[in-house]
Structure 1
Amino acid sequence: MATVLQVSRSGRKVDYGYGLYFGLHMAGFLTTTLLMTWGLFVLFFLAIGGFSLDGMMNHVQNLTSRYLAADGTRVDQFKLIVGGVHMVLSAALIFFRRHAILPRDAGRQERPA
């Protein structure tokens, strides 16, 4: 005689809507973090240009001319440096914005302390 094992299932159902909501929220969080990181790069070039558009463009033009004149190994080193700085800035921003990673539950009411 064969024994049939029944899988015990709890009455809980998976809320796919909340999963999609969380996915959209996380995509927005990562997108804003990326834009903030790019903004920090622009702020850096503004700072070394004396907080003027002319000075910033002068430094960007100098960087561009040196990048185009570099050989392959120097370009690879530059890409590694920029990628590393981008990762560090992104990690720092995520650390300081960690309170915004999880979305607020709109259905739950906050209790006064």
Structure 2
Amino acid sequence: MSVITQGNSTSHDRGWWLYLALHWSGIFASSLLMSWGLFALFFLVIGGFSLDGAMLHIDNFASRYVAADADRVMRFKVVLAGVQLASIAAILFFRRGAWIPRDPKLEGLARG
């Protein structure tokens, strides 16, 4: 992390902040994709690890969603949002080692 000193104040280099923002957007995007993969894995598991079984369960799920009234659809959306947030939180917890980006300057020193 490079620091630029200007008078009495210290501010981080703008490039470092952009690097951090890019790193965090990558962490969140990949975690979101992993959570969607967990939903696909869930349907594969309840479908007996076959594509036909998974599609039958998805079809059953979709037909019940379409036939539901507005209150039940809202409850479904709340449950789905809660499961999505919980899965993303669990994935981010297990990826906590990747939260802080590596500093290439410090890695060169560590290798000797």
TM-score, length basis structure 2 = 0.88
Alpha-carbon displacement from aligned partner over 1:4-32 (angstroms, at most 9, x marks no partner) = xxxx615x443000000000000000000
Q: Which of the numbers 27, 30, 34 marks the counterpart of 1:29? A: 27
Q: Which of the numbers 86, 91, 94 marks the counterpart of 1:93? A: 91
Q: Which of the numbers 63, 66, 88 marks the counterpart of 1:65? A: 63
Residues matched between the structures, number:
104
Distance 2:25 2:37 in 1: 18
The runs of at least 4 consecutive aligned structure 1 residues that moved more than 3 Å come to: none
Distance 1:59 1:17 in 2: 48
Higher share of residues assigned helix = 2
Within the alignment, does 1:77 sit opposite 2:75 as a pair? yes
TM-score, length basis structure 1 = 0.87
Give the number of the structure whose alpha-carbon radius of gyration is greater: 1
* Letter of the 2:8 counterpart: R
Deviation at 1:111, TM superposition (A): 6.7
Moved more, 34-43 or 13-22: 13-22
Within the alignment, does 1:43 sit opposite 2:44 as a pair? no
Distance 1:56 1:9 in 2: 62
Alignment partner, residue 14 of structure 2: 16
Identity of aligned residues (%): 51
Alignment partner, residue 4 of structure 1: none
Higher share of residues assigned strand = 2
Alignment gaps of 5+ in structure 2 = 1-6
